[in-house]
Every structure is written in C-alpha cells, then in structure tokens.
Amino acid sequence: MPTPVKMPRLGESVAEGTVGSWLKSEGDWVEKDESLAEIITDKINAELPSPVAGRLERILVQPDQTVSVGTDIALIEENADVSAAPPAEPAPGPDAAPVEDTRQAATPVMEEKKASTSTSSGNGASAPQREEEERQRISPLARRLAREHDVDLSKVAGTGTGGRVRKEDILAYVEQRQAAPVSATTATTTQYAQPAREVPQPAAAPVGARFVAPVPEPVATQAAPAAAPGEDVEVVTPSRMRLAIAEHMVRSKRTAPHATTVVEVDMTNIAKWLEKNKEDFKRREGYGISYVPFVMKAVCEGIRKFPIINSSWTEDNKILIKKRINLGIAVATDVGLLVPTIYDSDQYTLAGLAKQIAAVAQRARTNKLTIQDMQNSTFVVNNPGTFGTIISVPIINQPNAGILSMDAVVKRPVVIEEDAIAVRSMMFLCLSFDHRILDGAGAGGFLQAVRTKLQNYGREIDVY
C-alpha cells in the first residue's frame, strides 16, 4: 500500500501550505529523508524530505497549489529491493518526516544544497551535460524571491552545485543592491510597477463579539492603496511575512480577550553577576549570556506552579494543558519578527538555555530555521527591553494562553527594608493572557512565582 506524504504544519498558527515545486517526478526513486518537494510558507521556505524510501507513485498536489495542513500531497510505493537504489545520504539535521504528530514532528532544514545533490539520476548523460543542466537550474524558491525583488537572475552568481542559484544567493544580491546609493530609487520604481497583491481578509470575529466594530481598521487599510505615489507619499507593498504577521496579530486580538498585568522585579543580583561574569562566560563557552535565560528559567518555574498558563483554548470550548514546556522566543530579524521554539525548556540549565537561545537566534537571522523550529511553542517570552523599552504590552501568539514581555533593566532609587532608599537594577515584566483561560488571580500568581525566582538569586549564581 502506498505511503502518503502529507503537507506539514509550517508554523504554530498556519493552517495551510503551498507546494513550491517538486524535486522528483512521478516514477523517480527517492531515498528516505531525501528532499522531495519545496514548501512555501510566509515565514520560512523549506524542503520536505521523503518519509520512506521508495518510488514516487503519484503527485497529488501540483506546484503553486495551496492545501490544508495534513492533506496528502503525494504517494510513495515502498520497495523492499532497496539495493537497486543509490545509497542514501544522511539527513542535514534531525530525522525528517512529514508532520503528522506535532509533538514528534521532525523537519527539514532550510538549505538548498541537499536538494541540488538529490536530483541526480542514472540517465546515462555525460558529466559535462549533467553539469550544464545543473548550472541552468534555478531553485523555485530563488525564482520566487527574484520575482518579488525584481532581480535579474542573469546577474546573480549561483553558489549551489554546478552554479545553481539558491535563495541565499538572491538574498545576498538584494542586500548588496540595497546597500548601493541608487537602490532607493530603483526599489521604489519597482514597487510601483508591480501589481498590488491581494491582502488576505482577516478571520471573522467569534460569535458574541459582534459588538466590537473595528471601524477605524478597515478605513485605514483601504485608504493607503488609494494614495497615489508622489513626492510626499510612498506606497509600499507588504512582504509575505508582513502580511502573515498582520493577519496573525488581528486574529489573535479578535480570538482571545486579552488582559494584561505588570510586576516590577529587582534584578540587582543578576545584573551584578552578569557584569562580573558575562565576558568570561562568552570566552569560555563561545556564546553569550544575558537576562533572557534567567527570565525563561523563572517562567518554567512559574508554569510548574501554574500549569494552566501553559495551555490553549480549542474551537470546541475545551482547555488543553500542555505537559511539555516549549518556550517560544521572539527574535527580531531584518525581514520581520520570528518566534522559534526551544523544546523542553525546563530541562536546561541557565547555560544550556543561553546556548539554545543563541542557536535559534542565529538560525533565525541567517534564514536557516527549520519547520520544527517554528512549531509547538506553548508559551512565549519577548524581550523588547533590548531596545530600551520600559513597559511593553505584547499580543498573544496564538494558540498560546499567554506571552511575557521583559523590558529594560534600569537603575533607579527604590525603597527597601526599613524604609531605606537604595539604587537597584529594576525591570518590569508584562504578562498578556487569554482571559477565557485564566483570571487575574491566576495570572498574578504566575507573575509572582516568576518574580520570586528572579529575586531569590544571590550574589553567586551557578549557571550550570
């Protein structure tokens, strides 16, 4: 019986995906974990590996077709006679398979190199001929990016096998072009020349919320395209990621009744430890440590005491309390905000969390996040304090029950024991939570547990 290949979940809030292209044709042999298709998402573009070794019997979803997550997109007939097939290469990362169980989802790595090497076949063509064909190949993801950024592909040097143009080449070319003095005029002209994209309509408001009439939002959205480009007006077409973020933010506000509570935390002991040890820590470990792992560790402590915060509200009006603590960490990149996941965050030491944070942030900023990186977060920690903010009110990352913002650590005079006044390093923590799931008492108790953990660190801290 053929094994179905399913459309993977491309992110926590994504319900559908688009097949960018097929890297194999019907009848081709494919190895387990070999790149089978390129999947397009609003936040990452990734290659989908084959779940089994066998013959690609049938392609069910054509390129540029969008289907729901979990839809069968191809059928692979497994063959016991694997000796006739070329040996498989190890997968570039964790074992990859189509996403059926979101808790055990294994995912492809966002790199084009594997795809270019996996397309070779025993067709008898000479080596120069194969190299010439490979040189002419352009990754469909690269082609899409080229169209979006109006890039002449003949001017882009490919770094893939045989000179194949990859998405990294397009992104590097666009970055170099933007650095040039003439880039502003060229980019503006290009944007005006492109046809306006259809912006997806936000999801309908839930039953019972019809009294919320967001009249100013549609007016503002419709007014912008009506303005003609000129000396005083520049019309910008949002990127796919910007549109995805916009849709997610609007949907979150309409789905969950947001409530917010704030506490102030004395971070003096942690601040002094970081000032004394962070440089030595970075030299010794090769990655930095900041306030973020301390807050994430404290959040894990708070979730253990108040597990209801680690949950989500379902469409059939149930509450799902997640047993695993998978913290999402908001990462600002040049193209938009991403929220990769650190799985089982409560299992790491402070040093281990710092390492994981550095790793996912690096992957996010170099466009190398995997599908699994963007899945299964159960709670999110946001750090706008790195930009100097004092108090920030975040929007919940659906379908989570809450999100915590940590703001800047600032020295100021405060009243301490026996009414003495001292200069302390203080920070505000702001929790936005879904009022369907918990009330102020539960949210306040969670924040109190987080604050207690942070303030209980002494002068000497064991991060291991």
**Residues annotated as catalytic (active site), given as ranges:** 435, 439
CA dist list (Å): 334 to 223, 242, 389, 415: 27, 11, 19, 41
Q: How far apart are the first and last CA of the chain?
A: 50
Count of beta carbons in the 10 Å neighbourhood of residue 263:
16
Residue 280 buriedness (CB in 10 A; 0-12 / 13-18 / 19+): exposed
- Phi then psi for residue 427, to 5 deg, are -145, 140
Torsion region of 186: left, alpha or beta (phi above 0 gives left; psi -120 to 50 gives alpha):
alpha
Residue 135 buriedness (CB in 10 A; 0-12 / 13-18 / 19+): middle
Of 240, 229, 246, 159, give the one whose Cα is nearest residue 187: 229
Q: Are strands 379-382 and 402-406 parallel, antiparallel or unpaired?
A: parallel
Q: Which residue is listed with tokens 């790195």? A: 386
DSSP state of 210: T
- How would DSSP label each residue in 112-175? SHHHHHTT---S---HHHHHHHHHH-B-HHHHHHHHHHT--GGGPPP-SGGG-B-HHHHHHHHH
In the chain, DSSP finds a helix count (H) and a strand count (E) of 11, 19
Rg (CA), the chain: 25
Q: Which residue is listed with tokens 């003439």? A: 182
Give CA 249 to chain center in angstroms.
Answer: 15
Residue 444 buriedness (CB in 10 A; 0-12 / 13-18 / 19+): middle
d(CA 158, CA 371) in angstroms, rounded, equals 25
d(CA 298, CA 346) in angstroms, rounded, equals 9
